[in-house]
Amino acid sequence: MRKDILTTHRRIHTGEKPYQCDMCSKSFAKSTNLTDHKRIHTGEKPYHCDICGKSFNQNNQLIKHIRIHTGEKPYHCDSCDKSFSRNDELTTHRYIHTGEKPYRCNICRKSFPQNSALTIHKRIHVGESRYICDICGKSFLRKDSLRHHKHIHTGENPYCDICGKSFIRNDALHLHKRIHTGEKPYHCDVCGKSFSQRPAVTVHKRVHTRETPYHCDICGKSFTWSNHLKTHTRIHTGEKPYHCDICGKSFSQSTALTAHKRVHTGEKPYHCDICGKSFSNRKVLSTHKCIYTGEKSHQCNICGEKPYHCDICGKTFSRKDELTIHKRVHTGEKPYQCDICGQSFTRKDILTTHRRIHTGEKPYQCDMCSKSFSKSTNLTDHKRIHTGERPYHCDFCGKSFNQNNQLIKHKRIHTGEKPYHCDVCDKSFSRNDELTTHKHIHTGEKPYRCDICGKSFPQNSALTGHKRIHTGEKPFPCDICGKAFVQSSDLKGHKRIHTGEKPYHCDICGKAFSQSPAVTVHKRIHTREKPYHCDICGKSFPRSNSLTDHKRIHTGEKPFHCDICGKAFIRSNDLKGHKRIHTGEKPYHCDICGKSFSQRTAVTVHKRVHTRERPYHCDICGKSFSYSNLLTKHKCIHMGEKSYQCDLCSKSFSQHDLAVHVCILP
């Protein structure tokens, strides 16, 4: 060994550092180390990479850097055959196999596998932050932390060459890439589960040991992870440090902000490798995959046990938070209260959704028609209208549905189940909303009011349909004839005109109808029931709309106006028939002679010319007539009625006598 090398080596033992920097007074054991150090002050970087042009202040840094381009990894681990581009990386890696941590802090006795890690750790005790950002002045314990921090100012970030996502640190990028490669090199020695990061194994093992080392000093609750405790503490402090720069909404967790932003961007980075479907949330993807694998998430894959048991009813749960929420069923606890209306809820997410009723917030937007929803599940269901997807099938009749709750309700048609009972009249219903609507009959309540005309309705859906009268919106068009309707049920009934389908039958006479309400109204012909009474004249009607039309005779109201001639009508279908006078439209045809008519009733009356049918009979003399108005005129003969008045002399006559009278007038 050369004498000068021995002299330098002995300084490791003596601690001698004879070479001092005249700028910052730092000392070194070797002159070459001082030379390299001084370049930090001068900014000199004399060693250049001839591949990418990057410069370095030390030659060994350049040699290590070049290996990034060449891919050379000359240092091999003899335990696992893993290779490294730097010798210090191999040395540190070997400690994984040996478990050795040779560098110990003389203040707190904590041990480290690297001397550099110990050096950085000691700065915590002395409060030293020697690396200062020359742009914003922020201080750091480690040089690499400063380097990563500077990327914030320069915008220079290492990025993933697969998905384009950028990171402040290279090690974060390295871990991220395992999402794409599926690499999970760290295994739990208890259950064999694999993880992409080593700390994740440590935390996971607490599932087996039930260790919760992090305690909240306010409420005493314990947590498996330190960051869970930190997040939990914000419940007490109300702190929400993460803000959405698009809508301004605040969150207590950075992950919640990241997930929230996907509402605005529409990003769905989690893809199912079985069916290709994409999701915005990793947890939703995991749940989705269970459809194909049959696996139950958060369940022991060895014995299938769910580890959390309810000590009241014995029900088991996969997660502790699920058990906590479940227990509120027994205790009646509802810790989340709406600060607007005072209503309480068992879960925070239910409260969040509820508050949107008051705020009108609808953060989930359909990217096909731009319709917005307050709940993500409503958006998912809505999108199936566009895609035509109906994943829920009835195993009785094969009918498909786009929502699971629709299938559950439908199955009750087959089973006859009516689980919702009225406590006033004992009537039962297959759906809860039907029971709620029914109860309004007893209470007379109509809680949904139109803000345009003030009319009230017992159902929100009825109000929604009603409002379209004011807006003119008819969102349900017929794909056969193009006619549009206010409600989907109206379109469904209309389509039966084209198909000729009449699935509803009268059990008295067998007559068939295309709509269920038509059977109910028809049956009143047999029962002579007229449940709708006029409170002005007492006249009764079999249908509610007939009563509404009748009342306009008393009020004089004629709400339906012709936009061509201005004539007004009591009923909308009267206006519709009238408009055909202007348009000349005659859509109803006699199938015997082909003659056309503007109204359906006119066809019915006309056909009596061919059939010689006379359905109107005089109950005095038995004479028959084709038209009701002819019968009315005929009856005047028996009654001696003279209902036709001369507008010249005011005398009254029968119709025939009035014609003769007019002829003989001077």
Q: What is the pLDDT of residues 507-547, one digit of tens each?
A: 888 888 888 888 888 888 888 888 888 998 888 888 888 88
Instruction: Give the whole-angstrom CA distance, residue 296 versus residue 294.
Output: 7
Instruction: Give the whole-angstrom CA distance, residue 562 versus residue 559.
Output: 10
Domain total in the chain: 1
In a domain, 434, yes or no: no
In a domain, 658, yes or no: yes
Instruction: Give the whole-angstrom CA distance, residue 295 versus residue 34.
Output: 62
Instruction: Give the whole-angstrom CA distance, residue 626 versus residue 178.
Output: 86
Q: What is the CA radius of gyration of the chain?
A: 42
Say whether pLDDT at 122 is over 80.
Answer: no
Mean pLDDT of 59-70: 83
Q: What global pTM score does this model have?
A: 0.30
Residue position matching structure tokens 């088991």: 316
pLDDT in tens, 89-109: 888 787 777 778 888 888 778
Signed CA dihedral, 330, 331, 336, 337: sign only: positive
% residues pLDDT > 90 (the chain): 1
Range of the domain at 639: 624-664
pLDDT in tens, 405-420: 888 888 888 888 888 8
Is 303 or 220 the better-scoring residue by pLDDT?
Answer: 220
Instruction: Give the whole-angstrom CA distance, residue 394 versus residue 405.
Output: 12
In a domain, 574, yes or no: no
Contact 222, 207 (CB under 8 A): no
Mean pLDDT of 31-42: 85
Contact 285, 272 (CB under 8 A): yes
Mean pLDDT of 131-142: 77
Say whether pLDDT at 123 is over 80.
Answer: no
Instruction: Give the whole-angstrom CA distance, residue 215 versus residue 226.
Output: 9
In a domain, 650, yes or no: yes
Instruction: Give the whole-angstrom CA distance, residue 124 versus residue 12.
Output: 25
Per-residue confidence (pLDDT) for residue 294, from 0 to 100: 55
Q: Which amino acid is at 344?
A: S
Instruction: Give the whole-angstrom CA distance, residue 302 versus residue 294.
Output: 15
pLDDT in tens, 262-290: 878 878 888 888 887 887 777 777 767 66
Q: Which long-range contacts (CB under 8 A, 24 or more apart) does 261-269 make?
A: 263/363, 263/364, 263/365, 266/367, 269/163
Mean pLDDT of 179-200: 82
User: Which whole-number Å values give the CA distances from 85 to 57, 64, 199, in the listed order?
Assistant: 19, 7, 24
Mean pLDDT of 295-302: 45
pLDDT in tens, 545-557: 888 888 888 898 8
Average pLDDT, the chain: 81
Say whether pLDDT at 295 is over 80.
Answer: no
% residues pLDDT > 70 (the chain): 89
Q: Which among 160, 167, 169, 103 is positioned nearest to 142, based on CA atoms?
A: 169
Per-residue confidence (pLDDT) for residue 666, from 0 to 100: 56
Per-residue confidence (pLDDT) for residue 653, from 0 to 100: 66
Contact 35, 52 (CB under 8 A): no
Instruction: Quote the Cα angle for 56-62-65, to 5°.
Output: 110
Read off the pLDDT band of 157 (50, 70, 90): low
Per-residue confidence (pLDDT) for residue 130, from 0 to 100: 67
Is 145 or 294 the better-scoring residue by pLDDT?
Answer: 145
pLDDT in tens, 232-252: 888 788 788 888 888 888 877
User: Which whole-number Å values give the CA distances from 408 to 428, 431, 449, in the listed order?
Assistant: 17, 10, 30
Q: List alpha helices for 99-169, DSSP H.
A: 115-126, 143-154
DSSP assignment string, 415-479: H----EE-TTT--EESSHHHHHHHHHHHH----EE-TTT--EESSHHHHHHHHHHHH----EE-T
User: Which whole-number Å values give the CA distances from 148 to 66, 137, 139, in the listed order?
Assistant: 21, 14, 12
Read off the pLDDT band of 303 (50, 70, 90): very low
Domain CATH for 642 = 3.30.160.60
Say whether pLDDT at 452 is over 70.
Answer: yes
Mean pLDDT of 138-149: 73
In a domain, 399, yes or no: no
* Secondary structure in 3-state letters for 324-387: HHHHHHHHCCCCEECCCCCCEECCHHHHHHHHHHHHCCCCEECCCCCCEECCHHHHHHHHHHHH
Read off the pLDDT band of 565 (50, 70, 90): very high
Q: How remote is the C-alpha of 640 from its chain's centroid? A: 74
Read off the pLDDT band of 627 (50, 70, 90): confident
Instruction: Give the whole-angstrom CA distance, residue 653 versus residue 637.
Output: 11
Per-residue confidence (pLDDT) for residue 593, from 0 to 100: 92
